[in-house]
Amino acid sequence: MAVSTKEKEKVKKTSPTAKKAAFSKQTYMWWYEMMYLLRRFEEKAGQQYGLQKIKGFCHLYIGQEACVVGAVSALKKGDKYITAYRDHAHPIALGTDPKYIMAELFAKETGVSKGKGGSMHMFDVANHFYGGHGIVGGQIPLGAGLAFAEQYKGTDLVCATFMGDGATRQGAFHETLNMAMTMKLPVLFIIENNGYAMGTSVKRSSNVTELYQLGESYDIPSFPVDAMNVEAVHHAVAEAAERARSGNGPTLLEFRTYRYKGHSISDPAKYRTKDELEEYKQQDPIVQCMKTILDKKLATEDELKEIENQVKEQVEACIKFADESAFPDPSEATKDVYAQQDYPFIME
Residues contacting residue 84 through CB under 8 Å, at least 6 positions apart: 133, 134, 136, 138, 139, 162, 163, 164, 167
Binding site for Mg ion (CB under 5 A): 164-165, 194, 197
Give least dist CB 327 to Mg ion, A.
32
CB 177 within 8 A of CB 187: no
Q: How many CA atoms lie within 13 A of 97 on its CB side?
A: 11
Toward ligand TPP, which CB reaches closer, 5 or 266?
266
Task: Tell me which residues touch ligand TPP (CB under 6 A).
Answer: 84, 86, 134-136, 164-167, 194, 196-198, 263
Q: Which is nearer to ligand TPP, 165 or 219 (CB)?
A: 165
DSSP letter (8 states) at residue 168:
G
E strand segments, 170-268:
187-193, 196-197, 200-201, 222-226, 251-256
Whichever of 254 and 284 has its CB closer to ligand TPP, that residue is: 254
Show the CA angle centred on residue 117, arms to residues 339 and 202, nearest 5°: 125
Nearest distance in Å: CB 221, ligand TPP: 22
CB of 140 to ligand TPP, least distance (A): 11
- Chosen from Mg ion, ligand TPP, none, partner binding at 167 (C-beta under 5 to 8 Å by type): ligand TPP
CA count, 13 A, side-chain hemisphere, 330: 0
End-to-end CA distance of the chain: give it in Å, rounded. 33
Give bridge partners of residue 188 from the DSSP assignment.
160, 251
Task: Provide the minimum distance between the beta carbon of 117 and ligand TPP in the complex, in angstroms, as a whole number.
Answer: 15
Q: Strand, helix or coil at 120? A: coil
User: Is the CB of 154 or the CB of 171 nearer to ligand TPP?
Assistant: 171
Cα–chain-centroid distance for residue 334? 30
**DSSP summary character for residue 331:** G
Cβ-proximal residue to ligand TPP, closest one: 164
What residue 86 binds from Mg ion, ligand TPP, none (CB within 5 to 8 A, per partner kind)? Answer: ligand TPP
Active site residues: 259, 263, 271
Beta-bridge partners for 252: 189, 222
Q: Least distance to ligand TPP from the beta carbon of 263, Å?
A: 5
Nearer to Mg ion by Cβ, of 156 and 226: the residue is: 226
Long-range Cβ contact pairs of 203-206 (< 8 A, separation 24 or more): 205/166, 205/169, 206/169
Quote the least distance from Cβ 105 to ligand TPP, whole Å: 17
Continuous segment of H or E residues that includes residue 281: helix 274-281
Closer Cβ to ligand TPP, 197 or 232, answer by number: 197
